[in-house]
Chain A
Amino acid sequence: MTIDFEKKYVRWNLILIGLLIVLFFTIVVTITIGSAGPIGSGNPEIIPMQAVWDILIGKSHLWPDPYKTIIMDIRLPRILLAALVGCALAVSGVVMQGIFRNPMADPFIVGLSSGAALGASTSILSGLSISIGIYSTPFLAFVGAGLTVFGVYFIARSRGKVRVNTLLLTGIAIGSFLTAVTSFFMYMANEQFRFLFFWLLGGLYKASWNTVAIAFSLILLGVIIIQFFARDLNAMVLGEEPAMHLGIDTGSVKKILLIFSSLVAGTAVAFTGIIGFVGLITPHIMRILVGPNHRILLPASALAGAIFLIWSDTIARTILSPTEIPVGIITAFCGAPFFVYLLQKSKKGKR
């Protein structure tokens, strides 16, 4: 054969390996950063670097108990949750942008965030979290997100088919409605208003090994299944009809992708509130860097999203210690300039 197809796959594998290495180092480095040290921004930094190493390799008895608690029960689960959520939001963003062929699409575009917010507010304000347990809020947020997506899909469907434009507009409309309802609840809520408001801003402070376990299983399941539809996504961005002409059953592919993307994003939102920007920008950045083929775009975005959110969260929880800045602010602050820079660079390249 005169054309070398394999070259592209080798390049892809290198990219993924590179990203995995960066992710690994990110986790290793950020585990040493935090309010309690060794790398922090003020007092009290009490944990020395040696302690981090010892605790990680199992020699935690050499150091006071709280050190182990901080490193293994507070920081590490939080970093892992950030990785999972960043991965989930990025992958979901890629899928939404692919299905809707719209660069403005993000994981929440079908009303997912509004549904989750309404679910969370129901849980917080009704005091259900006392009776069912602390997981009532994530669960209801997840249920809210899921029901909203289903609702939007069924409303947008006509004669058995769903046009992406209809789906988009229905999602926006219903999302706005649910947001209004939630705002009303918040307004009437009084004391719990604070909690809901804080939940909406998004944050990873609820991370624990339990949440990581649930998030891991759901998000990994979703991301893997979505990866199998990479080829379908490639065809779908060409257009509804070209995809059909290539043999893709666009109706059911759309449905499946919506379900799993919502599963993944819904899980993320359930545990961390609404963290914007990651799902919108990571796909664009990775598309500029690795190209639009979803077979590389999906895994690369997953890894990049994880790395991005870990760093953003680390900054958010350390820079003004002990106060924690909502991570959504950091993602926007850092992500936006980087994205603009990339855009400029790619424009120049074209000329």
Chain B
Amino acid sequence: MLLKIADLSFSYQSSKILDGVTFEVKSGEFLGVMGPNGSGKTTLLRCISYVLSPRGTVLIDGRDIEELSKKEIAKKIGFVPQTSNIDFEFMVSELVLMGRTPHMGRFKSESTYDFEIVEKAMKLTNIQHLSERAFDELSGGEKQRVIIARALAQEPKILLLDEPTVHLDIRCQLEILNLVKNLCEQERIIVISVFHDLNLASQYSDKLILLNRGRIFSEGFPDKVLTSENIRRIYQIEAIIKRHPITNVPYVIPFLYAKNDKKMKGPTVHVICGGGSGTPAMKLLLDNGLKVTCGVLDVLDSDFEAARNFKIPVVGEIPFSQITNESNKANIDLIKKADFVIITDFPVGPGNLKNIEAAEVALDFKIPVIIIESSPVYQRDFTQKNLEEYFKRLKEKGAIFVENLESALKEVLI
């Protein structure tokens, strides 16, 4: 099955909610829709399910949805809204059975097949034990599962979900999304889900659409859509994009914009770091009005990415290689321009040992070097015991050893 959305536009009276949205989804594909508030996500879903009448075309396997009756649409598309407030005391089994409505004629009663489908839907959503319960007595997660079961009872080829996990706890969120993802893959259903949580979207979607003000800002694989640039443009926050340690999909770590006022006339601090230890240091220094530079960092290192995000001058190096002479020289140039050098506690190996040597150069130039030693040296010494000696030498030359970042900051600010 192929769902084609072409040039979809929708306006509420005079305000345009959607403008020229175009995309495609195939069977077995899970499409995530994201965007800031008011970008038209929910409206998009409601246009696809045709409860709103947009301009443009929605084609299901080549057939225009306009030609289908409401009943036929309901046989193909199931919709799970954010919340369901049902004031009447329907039983769970009655509600799920309502999902068969589009398949049943007005003058017929339910057949065995209908019951089988309902039972299957309840099995898939694991709510069989709730079938006699009243809907309004259930927990949020259970309620959502019932609604999904009802949508599944429609035997849809397309499942639309509007922020399905908004009011649920962590376990429910994962349970439901896992369930939907399995359905997507096993039953070859098209799933389009609106997400508010970027990481959940990244985790479960095969493809993503990022909406902004009714238009598609970016679409494609999560790697392509979830970049800090896009996030900055659309959500106006800073974010570091890492890799999820288990699933390797983009993992968004947002933070509030660090102050990086170029007009600041504070002293400059050069941070020698790596392995993620430098990021908090950079942020702390920037927040306190200091100028920061750093190097040398492996370009795959998260500290490198953080430095780029913070717009800090940084010297990068090709991954998994020794620090080249050029990089070293660039680093030393930066050091010479700095007023302080801070060495964070990062793992040191033969590859980045030169960074420590560069610190020595700083001392020679009478630039104070502050070494943060929050963990014992030997734990991060991968240079076969050279590091301790280097540190001894640095100490003799006047390097200051502190226990943590805040102390280091104190030293700088004195």
State if A and B touch, Cβ cutoff 8 Å. yes
Distance between B286 CB and nearest chain A CB, rounded to angstroms: 48
Contact in complex: B98, A235 (CB < 8 Å): yes
Give A246 to B101 CA distance when docked, in angstroms: 6
- The residues of B that contact A292 with a CB separation of less than 8 Å are 88-90
Given A1-B116, A1-B119, A3-B128, is A248 in contact with B104 using a C-beta cutoff of 8 Å? Answer: no
Contact in complex: A229, B106 (CB < 8 Å): yes
Contact in complex: B81, A3 (CB < 8 Å): no
Contact in complex: B106, A2 (CB < 8 Å): no
Asked if B87 lies at the interface with its beta carbon under 8 angstroms from chain A, I say: yes
Give A107 to B81 CA distance when docked, in angstroms: 31
Which residue on B lies nearest to A238, using beta carbons?
A: B86
Give A161 to B99 CA distance when docked, in angstroms: 24
Contact in complex: B101, A101 (CB < 8 Å): no
User: Mask for B122-135, Cβ within 8 A of A = 1, else 0?
Assistant: 10000010010000
Give A229 to B106 CA distance when docked, in angstroms: 7
Distance between A196 CB and nearest chain B CB, rounded to angstroms: 39
- The residues of B that contact A293 with a CB separation of less than 8 Å are 90, 94
- The residues of B that contact A235 with a CB separation of less than 8 Å are 98, 101
Asked if B259 lies at the interface with its beta carbon under 8 angstroms from chain A, I say: no
Those of B37-85 within 8 Å (CB) of chain A: 46, 49, 51, 69-75, 77-79, 81, 84
- The residues of B that contact A228 with a CB separation of less than 8 Å are 106-107
Which residue on B lies nearest to A240, using beta carbons?
A: B51
Those of A1-34 within 8 Å (CB) of chain B: 1-3, 5, 8
Asked if A44 lies at the interface with its beta carbon under 8 angstroms from chain B, I say: no
Which residue on B lies nearest to A246, using beta carbons?
A: B101
Asked if B331 lies at the interface with its beta carbon under 8 angstroms from chain A, I say: no
Asked if A291 lies at the interface with its beta carbon under 8 angstroms from chain B, I say: yes
User: Mask for B81-120, Cβ within 8 A of A = 1, else 0?
Assistant: 1001011111101100111011010110010000110110
Contact in complex: A247, B75 (CB < 8 Å): yes
Distance between A77 CB and nearest chain B CB, rounded to angstroms: 33
Contact in complex: B106, A231 (CB < 8 Å): yes
Give A293 to B104 CA distance when docked, in angstroms: 16
Those of B338-355 within 8 Å (CB) of chain A: none
Contact in complex: B79, A245 (CB < 8 Å): yes
Those of A231-245 within 8 Å (CB) of chain B: 231-232, 234-235, 237-238, 241-242, 244-245
Give A293 to B95 CA distance when docked, in angstroms: 10
Asked if B293 lies at the interface with its beta carbon under 8 angstroms from chain A, I say: no
Contact in complex: B81, A247 (CB < 8 Å): no
Contact in complex: B74, A242 (CB < 8 Å): no
Which residue on B lies nearest to A252, using beta carbons?
A: B70
Contact in complex: B119, A291 (CB < 8 Å): no
Which residue on B lies nearest to A243, using beta carbons?
A: B101
- The residues of A that contact B71 with a CB separation of less than 8 Å are 247, 249
Which residue on B lies nearest to A244, using beta carbons?
A: B51
Contact in complex: B70, A247 (CB < 8 Å): yes
Contact in complex: A5, B93 (CB < 8 Å): yes
Those of B281-310 within 8 Å (CB) of chain A: none
Asked if B154 lies at the interface with its beta carbon under 8 angstroms from chain A, I say: yes
Contact in complex: B51, A247 (CB < 8 Å): no
Given A1-B115, A3-B122, A241-B46, is A249 in contact with B69 using a C-beta cutoff of 8 Å? Answer: yes
Contact in complex: A234, B98 (CB < 8 Å): yes
Q: Which of A1, A237, A246 is in CB contact (< 8 Å) with B154?
A: A246
Give A228 to B106 CA distance when docked, in angstroms: 6
Given A3-B122, A242-B84, is A248 in contact with B101 using a C-beta cutoff of 8 Å? Answer: yes
- The residues of A that contact B90 with a CB separation of less than 8 Å are 234, 291-293
Give A310 to B404 CA distance when docked, in angstroms: 88
Contact in complex: B81, A241 (CB < 8 Å): yes
Which residue on B lies nearest to A250, using beta carbons?
A: B70
- The residues of A that contact B98 with a CB separation of less than 8 Å are 231, 234-235, 238, 246
Contact in complex: B70, A249 (CB < 8 Å): yes
- The residues of A that contact B122 with a CB separation of less than 8 Å are 3
Distance between B217 CB and nearest chain A CB, rounded to angstroms: 27
Distance between B264 CB and nearest chain A CB, rounded to angstroms: 53
Which residue on B lies nearest to A288, using beta carbons?
A: B89
- The residues of A that contact B154 with a CB separation of less than 8 Å are 246-247
Contact in complex: A291, B99 (CB < 8 Å): no
Distance between B381 CB and nearest chain A CB, rounded to angstroms: 62
- The residues of A that contact B73 with a CB separation of less than 8 Å are 247
Contact in complex: B88, A246 (CB < 8 Å): no
User: Mask for B379-404, Cβ within 8 A of A = 1, else 0?
Assistant: 00000000000000000000000000
Distance between A244 CB and nearest chain B CB, rounded to angstroms: 5
Those of B1-55 within 8 Å (CB) of chain A: 46, 49, 51
Those of A48-94 within 8 Å (CB) of chain B: none
Q: Which of A237, A242, A246, A249 is in CB contact (< 8 Å) with B81?
A: A242
Distance between B147 CB and nearest chain A CB, rounded to angstroms: 9
Contact in complex: A5, B115 (CB < 8 Å): yes
Contact in complex: A245, B128 (CB < 8 Å): no
- The residues of B that contact A249 with a CB separation of less than 8 Å are 69-71
Contact in complex: A247, B115 (CB < 8 Å): no
Give A235 to B86 CA distance when docked, in angstroms: 11
- The residues of A that contact B78 with a CB separation of less than 8 Å are 245
Given A246-B74, A247-B75, is A3 in contact with B101 using a C-beta cutoff of 8 Å? Answer: no
Which residue on B lies nearest to A350, using beta carbons?
A: B137
Which residue on A lies nearest to B78, using beta carbons?
A: A245
Most buried by A among B46, B78, B88: B88
Contact in complex: B84, A237 (CB < 8 Å): no
- The residues of A that contact B87 with a CB separation of less than 8 Å are 101, 237
- The residues of B that contact A5 with a CB separation of less than 8 Å are 93, 97, 110, 115, 118
Distance between B62 CB and nearest chain A CB, rounded to angstroms: 21
Given A2-B119, A3-B128, A101-B87, is A247 in contact with B102 using a C-beta cutoff of 8 Å? Answer: yes
Give A292 to B134 CA distance when docked, in angstroms: 11
Give A248 to B70 CA distance when docked, in angstroms: 6
Contact in complex: A287, B51 (CB < 8 Å): no
- The residues of B that contact A232 with a CB separation of less than 8 Å are 106
Interface, chain A (partner B; CB < 8 A): 1-3, 5, 8, 101, 228-229, 231-232, 234-235, 237-238, 241-242, 244-249, 287, 291-293
| A-B pairs with beta carbons under 8 Å apart, 25 shown | A2-B119, A3-B93, A234-B98, A234-B101, A235-B101, A237-B86, A238-B84, A238-B98, A244-B51, A244-B70, A245-B49, A245-B51, A245-B78, A246-B98, A246-B102, A246-B154, A247-B70, A248-B70, A249-B69, A249-B71, A291-B89, A291-B90, A291-B91, A292-B90, A293-B94
Given contacts A242-B84, A249-B69, 20 further A-B pairs with CB under 8 A are: A1-B115, A1-B119, A2-B119, A3-B115, A3-B119, A5-B118, A8-B93, A231-B98, A231-B101, A235-B98, A238-B98, A242-B81, A244-B70, A245-B79, A246-B74, A246-B102, A247-B75, A247-B101, A292-B88, A292-B89
Top-6 shortest CB links A-B: A247-B74, A247-B102, A292-B88, A247-B71, A245-B79, A244-B51
